[in-house]
Every structure is written in C-alpha cells, then in structure tokens.
Structure 1
Amino acid sequence: MTQALATGAAAIARRIADVIDPVFALIDGWQQRMEARLAPEPEPRAADLDPAVAATVAAELDRPGTLITGAGFVAAPGYLADAPWHLAWWLSDGNPFRGVPARGIRRLDAVSDPDAESFRDYTTLEWWRVPERTGSRHLTGPYVDYLCTDDYTVTVTTPVTIDGDMVGLVGADMYVARLEQVLEPVLRDAGRTLTVVNASGRIVTSTDPHRATGALLRLDGLPDALAPLREAEAEGRVTAAVRLPDGADVVPCGDTSLALVAE
C-alpha cells in the first residue's frame, strides 16, 4: 500500500466514517433504551410503546442539521398484543413523504392489516432480513424507499433483543441527497475520481457525475474486494484496503460497511 493512499484515500475514508458513525452511535443508544423499556413487560402493547418510541427519536428528528429523515421501532410480527404488525416510525420536518407538507415530526401512516391490498410484509425487506439473520446492525441502500420516503435512501437498522429473541428493530433513514451534500466537501479536490459504494458495490455518491446513485459500480475485481466488507459488517470490524487490477484503491470507511473507491 503506497504512502499516497495512506495519506489520501484512507484519510478521506476516515472522514466519511466520521460522518456516519454518530448515526450508528445514536441508533445503538436507542437499541439499549428499547431493550430496557421492553424487558420488564410481560405483554407489551403498541398503545404503551408508541409514546416511548416517539420520545426517544423526536429530539434527533427535530435537531437542525440532522442527517436523519425518519426513525423508530418496527415490531416482530405477533410481538405486540394489540398490533400483530406494527411500525412505530416517525418522519422529520424535512421528509415531505408523498407530498405531505412539513409541519414538524409526524407518524408514518403505515398499512398494518395483512389483508389490505397495499399491505407490505416488511420482514421480506433487506433492512429486516439481514439483521434478523446476523443479529447485528446493517446498512441498507441506497434504494428507493417506497415505504417511507419515495426517494433514494440509506437505512440503518439494528435488532432489539429480549431473552435472546429478536422482538423488533430500531433504525433510521437518511436521504442520499442529504448525505451527498455533507460528503461533497470531503470528496472534492482529491485529484482522483472518488466513489462511495455500499458492501454490494452500489453507488452512494461519486465525484463522477455520470455515476448514478443506486447503480452498480462495475470495476474488475470490485465484487471480490468488497466480499470481506460484507463478512465484517456482522462482526463490527474493519477490513483492509485492496488495490484492484486497474490500480483503483478500495478503502473501507471504518466499520460503516461503506467503501471508498479511489481511481
């Protein structure tokens, strides 16, 4: 690994992690609060839980400059006595989901009747499936979130576990457009083409305007270089940088499961 990489792309990757890490720390704190809230409850109910979830996420959703546009708790099917399917999810003032005017934080109006035509089984979605399988935090996206934002979104979720069983997830949504705004000063003036990708190689943002958000970055050797990143995500560890056959460097952005590709 060259000295230029150590002082260049690696330093930028660390700055990208510094942007994302506070969101991870926030969600970890929510997880601990929810587990402490739910552990003593013999028969938890949505009617009692929802105000606690709102109180937990409201301060961050209201905070000026927050990256988060939506946050809350999603219950495992059948866990809550009065709501077999339940999303206790709140949207920020900066989330005009489906044209709703911004008027402070508001509850996501999710369809919870499995017999309804517009019902969506959230346990089939990546942000649920991966944490359920791994028992660890997961970053999903960028993807177009038709459930909560109708726009390119990154979602971070982590399991809430009681007595060894996953009873739900806590998490947060971030608009990719907002992330791009925050990361742009970090990426500019690097003298190289820089692209931030997720562990599957999908583009989050790039200094190359021809690289679209959500598209796969197709570089020789990139899937193999990212494979350790996917494996490390469940363990919360950081993998080593890799040089691709064409000379591009793939540098993990801490333990965020994002990587910086510097060409």
Structure 2
Amino acid sequence: MTSTATLSPLSVAARVAETIDGLFATIDAWRDLLQTHLEATSTPTAAALDPIVEACALPELADDGLITGAGFVAAPGLLSDAQWHLAWWLAGTGGIRRLATVDDPSSEQFRDYTALEWWRLPARTGARHVTGPYVDYVCTDDYTVTITTPVVVGGRLLGVVGTDVLVDRLERELLPLLRASGEPIAIVNPLGRVVTATDARLEPGSMLRLDGLTQALEPLRGAEPARVETQLPNGADVLACGDTSLALVIGL
C-alpha cells in the first residue's frame, strides 16, 4: 500500500479500523459456522470439528495476506475424544502446517491455554479481543497480534476462534497510513503497548509511557470499547480506531 496524499488523523484511524475490522469479520464468520455445528451436535468430537476448522483456516493462510495463524481452541472437556484441544494451523516458509501441541496435563511441556490473555479476556467479557503485540513463543517466535472471539452456545463458552498476525506484516500495511498523516504518530493497544509507529525508536511491543495515557486508554479496555478522543498533558492527541480497541497517539 502506498499513499502520497496527506491523511487527517480521523482518516488514518478509520483506515486502521477498516484493516482490523476485516480480520474480525473473518473470524466472526468462522465463529458462526462453528456455533451452528456445535448446536447441532450432542457429543462434539475433535475428529468431526477439525476438518471444519481446517477448511476455514487454510484458504486464509494460503492467501499470503495478514493472517499467519488461525484456528479454534476448545474449552477443556468440550470434546469427547480430546480433553484439551487446539486445532490451529500456521503459514511459514515451509508451507502450511498444523501446530503441534502437548495435550496431556501430566506432561512437563503442557501449557494451560485458558490462563493466556487471548483466551482469558474473551472468556471473561464474552467479546472479541486483540492480544499483543507479544513474542509468540508457541507459534512464531516473533512479535504477533492475536485476535480471538468466543464461541458460545446456550450461554456456555465452548472455545475461542482466532487468528495470528505478524506485527511486521501489520507494519507494512499500516505504516504508510501513519506516514501519510505528516505527524509523528503511533498505534497502541489498550495498555499503551506499541503496535507500530513512525518513530523507529518506538519498537513494536514496547510501552509508550506518556503522562495521562493509561487513563486516556481506559475506555478501550472494556467488553465494548468506547469512543476516545482526548489530549494528553504533553499536547499529544489520543484517538480511538473505531471499536477495535486500538488507538492512535498523535504528536508524540
């Protein structure tokens, strides 16, 4: 993506939201498909569910777009043939592969995924969630943003469906927009962690520490991110990117 026209901060925020909303729309469609399957199944199994998840994930991974990982993570005890289960596929230089996991809780290599943010927050709020940027040691060993949404049937959480997006891919997509604003600008998550910025010193995953920023971003940390448009004591402006839970910090 290239742009030579100057974009207003509102336009930049809208374009960032459009990019993230496209990812949300993808996993929302998967969620709906899985909920329909699980509603019609009295005894769900990994054997029946995995091909459905694979059929959703593989076309997106083969497209070589923003998505580098995708799948479904089951609530413990949901599946009769797998107490703990991840159906997750990854795209890399060697092609598309399924993530190998340790599902035996007695193993030293077992990891309780329900304690991780990308599971914990959707489970608590019932809403979609953007986790990161963080170094994903399980899948990519690189800075990643994980987007997840809960799969719920009859008020019961049955799992989460989601995608992984490498931060360097997001940067290639979003940095031209930031630069087109003509302002020093950063995209941050609700905790103030940098996704990308025009200042190369603000590395992805680092915390942007500005007076008042934590308080300004607080409305983005709820189940339904609220509108944020405010100015910090140092004169920087904070502007929410739609309801994605991300925000622009302008005039650093």
Distance in 1 separating the partners of 2:29 and 2:182: 38
Q: Does residue 230 of structure 2 align to residue 242 of structure 1?
A: yes
Q: Which amino acid aligns with 1:158?
A: T
Aligned residues: 245
Q: Residues of 1 paired with 2:71 and 2:179: CA distance?
A: 33
5+ residue gaps in structure 1?
A: 1-6, 96-100
- 1:145-166 CA distance string (max 9 Å, x none): 1111111000000010111100
1:1-263 matches, cutoff 5 A: 8-64=8-64, 66-92=65-91, 95=92, 101-103=93-95, 105-231=96-222, 234-235=223-224, 237-263=225-251
Deviates more, 1:109-118 or 1:185-194: 185-194
Cα-Cα RMSD: 1.2
Q: Percent identity?
A: 56
**Structure 2-normalised TM-score?**
0.94
Residues 24-72 of structure 1 show CA distances to partners (whole Å, capped at 9, x for unaligned) of 01111110000001111111111111111101111111114x1000000
SS at match of 2:204: coil
Q: Aligned letter for 1:262?
A: I
Q: Distance in 1 between matches of 2:183 and 2:114?
A: 40
Q: Give me the whole-angstrom Cα distance separating, in 1, the residues matched to 2:56 and 2:12.
A: 32
Distance across 2 between alignment mates of 1:78 and 1:24:
27
* One-letter amino acid matched to 1:25: A
TM-score by length of 1: 0.90
The CA distance in 1 between the partners of 2:228 and 2:142, in whole Å, is: 32
Q: Secondary structure at the match of 1:115?
A: coil
**C-alpha distance in structure 2 between counterparts of 1:57 and 1:161, whole Å:** 19
Q: Cα deviations across residues 82-129 of structure 1 (Å, max 9, x unaligned)?
A: 10000000112xx3xxxxx513x2111111111111111100000000
Secondary structure of the 1:239 match is coil
- Counterpart amino acid of 2:143? Y
Deviation at 1:189, TM superposition (A): 3.8
Tell me the SS of whatever aligns to 2:43. Answer: coil
Counterpart CA distance in 1 for 2:57 and 2:46 is 16
- Partner amino acid for 1:245? P
SS of the aligned residue for 2:238 comes to: strand
For residues 175 and 219 of structure 2, what CA distance do their matches in structure 1 show? 27
What displacement does 1:19 show? 1.3
Q: How many Å separate the matches in 1 of 2:75 and 2:188?
A: 30
| Alpha-carbon distance in 2 for matches of 1:69, 1:203 | 20
Distance across 2 between alignment mates of 1:85 and 1:146? 19
SS at match of 2:195: strand
Instruction: Identify the residue that residue 4 of structure 2 maps to in structure 1.
Output: none
Instruction: Give, in angstroms, the shift of residue 238 of structure 1.
Output: 4.1
Task: Output the CA distance in 1 between the equivalents of 2:126 and 2:20.
Answer: 20
1:192: how far off?
Answer: 1.6
Q: Which runs of 4+ in 1 moved over 3 A?
A: none
| Contact 2:216-2:228 within 8 A present in 1 as well | no
